Amino acid sequence: MIDLILCILFSSSLFVIFKLYNTYKVQTLFAIITNYFVAAIFSIFFYEESIDFSTLPSKAWFLPTISLGFLFILVFYITAKTSQQIGVSVASVSSKMSLVIPVLAGVILYKEELGTLKIVGIILALIAVYFASLKDRTITVKTGTLVLPLLLFLGSGFVDTSIKYIQTTYVSKQEFPFFCTVVFTSAGIFGVLFILIRSFKVPLKINYRNILGGIVLGIFNYLTLHFLLRALQNDFSDSSSIFTINNVATVLFSTLLGILLFKEKLIPKNWIGIGLAVISIIIVALF
């Protein structure tokens, strides 16, 4: 349980870091690419065995992990586009509601059971995420702009499902840090290719603020994935419960951090979402 709690805390802290980027004029895209390389380097320190990179291509999880790194960048890009073209609230709801996908995957792939109360808890979790993400007005999406939220929903869900599948099928607990090194490095490389192509239109500024922002984000990003992997290998709960509690609790704690640190105002619907989030977590955790 402590691994899941730490995952939620570090995941929620990413919200604070992104919020501070605006305050300190950090160029988000460059910091995010930097963060992947920092996370890769940081994860090496947790690998207790000697590292032999020549054996890497022979590992069963190597190619799936490279693909996962590409997914990291792709989902980030879709998230950014959704936020810019439709709104942050839509992006948040689409991303967090994707918990349905790893939950269903747990039932289909790992024969996990969903009791009636647990199903009720998951449904409440989805409603809670929706209400907690609402701002001053109801989220409305035109039919022609449904493609981006749909891609974000599928992409976020597929990332979570892939992490669980690779971790369960290929990666031993001792290799978690090495696995993290590879997935973050591949994400960073794909990110560099992305910004090189994009730089023809939008030049990037390399300065100490971007680098420092990337370093801080990279450390917290690694710890989030590290403790998520550890939580998924626990004996006290299945993956459907882990993903549900993690996603909903992250939304809940991030909202509370927004209130405490940035004096964000909540509308009544947000408080309904917070209440439902607490109830859903209790139901899923207990049943």
- Which pLDDT value is given to residue 13? 87
pLDDT at 89 over 70: no
Segment 153-164 shows an average pLDDT of: 90
More confident residue, 111 or 89: 111
Cα separation, 142 vs 152, whole angstroms: 16
Please report, as a single letter, which amino acid is at residue 141. Answer: V
Identify the band that residue 204 occupies on the pLDDT scale cut at 50, 70 and 90.
Answer: low
- Which pLDDT value is given to residue 132? 77
- Which pLDDT value is given to residue 138? 53
More confident residue, 137 or 286: 286
**DSSP tag of 145:** G
- Which pLDDT value is given to residue 3? 92
Q: What is the 3-state secondary structure (H, E, C) of 35-102?
A: HHHHHHHHHHCCCCCCCCHHHHHHCCCHHHHHHHHHHHHHHHHHHHHHHHHCCHHHHHHHHHHHHHHH
Segment 210-231 shows an average pLDDT of: 91
Q: Give the residue from 206, 224, 184, 225 showing the smallest Cα distance to 73.
A: 184
pLDDT at 82 over 80: no
pLDDT at 30 over 90: no
pLDDT at 187 over 90: yes
172 φ, ψ (degrees, to nearest 5): -80, 160
* pLDDT digit string, tens, across residues 237-257: 788 889 888 888 887 888 888
Contact, 176 vs 230, CB < 8 A?
A: yes
Instruction: Report CA-CA distances (Å) from 1 to 69, 76, 159, 173, 264.
Output: 27, 28, 22, 16, 30
Q: Give the residue from 205, 168, 150, 259 showing the smallest Cα distance to 27.
A: 205
* pLDDT digit string, tens, across residues 107-146: 888 888 888 888 898 899 888 887 877 665 555 555 555 7
Contact, 6 vs 227, CB < 8 A?
A: yes
**Torsion, CA 121, CA 124, CA 125, CA 127, rounded to 10:** 170
Cα separation, 116 vs 123, whole angstroms: 11
% residues pLDDT > 70 (the chain) = 91
pLDDT at 93 over 60: yes
- Which pLDDT value is given to residue 66? 93
* pLDDT digit string, tens, across residues 247-284: 888 878 888 888 888 787 878 888 888 888 889 988 88
pLDDT at 60 over 80: yes
Domain spans of the chain, in order of start: 2-286
- Which pLDDT value is given to residue 205? 62
